[in-house]
Chains A and B, each alone.
Chain A
Amino acid sequence: MYIQVFIEVFYLTLVVVYFAFIGFFMWVTSRKSRGRREESKAEEKGAEKGMERDEKIWLVFLLVVAIVGNIVMLSPAIPSIRNVLWVNQVPEKTFEIFIENYEFKLPKYPVRIKVGQPVEFIVRTNDVTHGFGVFREDGTMVFQIQVLPGYDNRIVWVFDEPGSYTIRCTEYCGFRHSEMVVYDAIMVEGG
């Protein structure tokens, strides 16, 4: 299971909950209610400045979601941020890749890596913005970064599954953009 599937499941769950909520809300609010029309408590008292209790509770809830969300997103639970914020793994290998004339120039074909070994990719170009994306055999994405011209675009990655991986340009760079694919560019061995 790769991480995007968790995102998908989480997202679809939210969609179902939202649909149910709006549907329920429309049903309840259109039903004939018994008794008089409610007024908000503060409006009854004539004081309207500041928040009412239920709005305060809602604000606290939103704040908690935002704080917890940020903590989870910045936590080492997500592999892509582990090497950036949490463990400073020294790359065992560095691969310098150059992009020119819609082509990836790899140091070797294929690039060989071992499972669990931290490696660094430095991708450079002098023409236009490209992207550097690594994909599994089934087409799903392992990771991607942008490749800005004139800059060292670096990423440290640890592959946790053996297999052969494809490199693809992930940013539109002109009419020949979709030709920028190198199948089986990376061989990850061991495990």
Chain B
Amino acid sequence: MGPREKLALRFVLTAVFWLGVAGIEGLLMRAILAGMLSNIYGVEHFYGMMTVHPFVGIYGWAYMAVLGAFYYLVPKVLNKELYSERAAYMSYWTLLLGVLITWVSGYVFKFASLYTLYWPLPIVRFPPTSVLVFSIGMLLIFISVLLFFFNMFATIFLPQGEERGAGYIFKKLVTLSFNLDEIKARIKGVKDYIPGVYSYPVFIVGVFRGCVDTTLNALTMTGLASILAVFSLSSLLGFKLPTSLVDPLVYKNVFWWGLDLVADGNVLIYTAATWYFLVPMLVGRKLYGESVVRTVILADLVVSLFVWNHHMLADTPQPLALQIQGQVVTWGELITMGLTIFAVLKTIWLARPVKYSTPLKFILLSILGYMIGGSAGILQASYALNRYLHNTQWVIGVHAHVLLLAGLTLTLFAVIYALAPIITSKELDSRLADIHLVLFFSGAIIMSSAMGLAGIEGMLRRTLYPNGEYAEYMYTALAGGLLMAAGYLTFIVNFLKTYGISTVITVFKK
């Protein structure tokens, strides 16, 4: 195993570990909502767990896995060296430490303002030490991903063997991400101009455009974490800053603008890029309609900058024009996602008869997950319907968890199943993989649907029901969660059976 392979596997295995942790948290929260475990887990523990759960799931699992996959794939596809292996390892340790500290802030320090951090909840309700610990965890996470993005941009844009500065990378990034060179050429009236972005494979275009979204996300979150750090530090030092320094509505707009970019950069664009890479490889045929696909990625990037308002449809002081704008642009995601799925399915169609290998099956069900979760998203992102759905279990069930578990997670596993034999020259057992897929997908759908239907019956998210009002739904959700856990364990067994514990040890040895 070479250093590249080792780096990738280390990220992926750590990611899988965090997925397990997020899964346990999820199971515990469902169990508590079903009326169990109340003698072990109190209110503080429940909300602390809920606060760290998305950080463990998104940054521990999804980001860790994405970092590992892209550190490996981007240089491979470009036939180049990774810009800095040292920075890659630094991003590993900072991400691991960041997620760990965030986790500790919830479990040990009882920080429980949920990931939304709505101003001034963290400052008003929680001790400054806990806020400080949490903000340090958050800062480490975002330092890590910023290191990753820079490494990606430098690897992609720096010409091999030439000395160029960060300014060069930045200029190329902005120009190519938004096709500014083409716009310039159009203005000048140049005929038959081929945009610079065409010299990069579609996968790479998806990676750097997705990274633009996630970089903006990381910068926003770094800013917000710094605000939390400043407020908590100053109150630890004895002078309390007034919370009125920050306006709750402005804060909420900035928060959602930045946070939504992780949904659209990481979840949508990275996923699309991964499909564009894997599907042609798996069916042995080039991607259908490449030029359209490139335009779609650009459209996705532009759309993603203007959809944050769909998180704020329940805020009546928010200007109505923004509410309507948020709704209309969000429907644009139906078009971009629709075209993405079309290109992928048409590629498979033109390659038929297709042998459905493990990764291809995972991708097909992941697409199904995106179709289901995306449709739910568009319904709740409509101003009028949001009045009846906002903050109910619907939002977190049939939208967020379907997208994250059936959609994103299955695509990430497709990458793992597809890359494992390339990295290690040994294939994972395909029958166990089938069991993994069936258990995980059905579990995700059962759990999320039970939550969603509870939401239709009025069950709120982010809310404990001490009288067990929605226990039947939560039992069903718990059963779905257990199916997913069984699928997850099947994967672990498969991995250990194929590669042995010795591989795991090698990956983590210096």
Contact = CB atoms under 8 A, between A and B. Distances in A.
B349 A51 contact: no
Contacts of B451: none
Nearest to B286: A43
Contacts of A33: 352-353
A59 interface: yes
Interface residues of B, number: 85
B356 A30 contact: yes
B314 A29 contact: no
A25 B375 CA distance: 19
B352 A29 contact: yes
A143 interface: yes
Given A22-B368, A73-B383, A172-B47, A31 B352 contact: yes
A77 B9 CA distance: 53
A18 B121 contact: no
A47 to B, nearest CB: 10
Interface string B94-108: 000000000000000
Given A65-B334, A174-B121, A74 B383 contact: yes
Contacts of B339: 55, 58-59, 62
Nearest to B114: A172
A109 interface: no
Dominant secondary structure of chain B at its interface with chain A: helix
Contacts, number: 221
Given A32-B353, A37-B351, A145-B314, A129 B453 contact: no
A55 B114 CA distance: 42
Contact of A4 (B43, B367, B388): B388
Interface in B358-411: 364-365, 367-368, 371-372, 375-376, 378-379, 382-385, 387-392, 398
A151 B248 contact: yes
Interface in A63-99: 63, 65-66, 69-70, 73-74, 78, 80-81, 84
B159 interface: no
A74 to B, nearest CB: 7
A55 B292 contact: yes
A161 B384 CA distance: 20
B170 interface: no
Interface residues of A, number: 78
B180 interface: no
Contacts of B364: 22, 25-26
Contacts of A29: 348-349, 351-354
Contact of B249 (A55, A138, A148, A168): A148
Contacts of B436: none
A141 B317 contact: no
B316 A145 contact: yes
Nearest to A139: B458
B456 A4 contact: yes
A114 interface: no
Given A4-B389, A22-B367, A69-B378, A177 B456 contact: no
B331 interface: yes
Interface string A147-162: 0111111110000000
Listed residue (B288, B354, B388, B456) with the most chain A CB atoms within 10 angstroms of its CB:
B388
A178 B464 contact: yes
Given A73-B385, A140-B457, A178-B463, A62 B338 contact: yes
A146 to B, nearest CB: 5
Given A22-B367, A178-B466, A8 B291 contact: no
Contacts of A69: 331, 334, 378, 382
A100 interface: no
B315 A148 contact: yes
B371 to A, nearest CB: 5
A144 B315 contact: no
Nearest to A10: B379
Contacts of A146: 312, 314-316, 390
B112 interface: yes
Contact of B460 (A70, A80, A128, A168): A168
A80 B353 contact: no
Interface in B312-348: 312, 314-317, 320, 324, 327-328, 331-332, 334-335, 338-339, 342-343, 345-346, 348
B368 to A, nearest CB: 5
A64 B279 CA distance: 28
Contacts of B288: 40
A69 to B, nearest CB: 6
B270 to A, nearest CB: 21
A141 B393 CA distance: 12
Q: Please provide the 5 A-B residue pairs with the shortest distance between their CB atoms, ordered closest to farther.
A: A80-B387, A172-B462, A73-B382, A81-B384, A78-B384
Interface of A: 3-5, 7-8, 10-11, 14-15, 18-19, 22, 25-26, 28-33, 37-40, 48-52, 54-55, 58-59, 62-63, 65-66, 69-70, 73-74, 78, 80-81, 84, 127-129, 131, 133, 135-136, 138-141, 143-146, 148-155, 168, 170-178
28 contacts: A3-B388, A14-B375, A15-B372, A15-B449, A22-B371, A26-B364, A30-B353, A37-B351, A48-B291, A50-B291, A51-B292, A58-B339, A66-B332, A73-B383, A127-B124, A128-B118, A128-B124, A129-B252, A141-B458, A146-B312, A148-B248, A148-B249, A149-B248, A151-B248, A153-B315, A154-B316, A175-B47, A177-B462
Given A4-B388, A33-B352, 8 more contacts: A8-B456, A11-B375, A51-B292, A55-B339, A62-B335, A80-B387, A146-B315, A150-B248
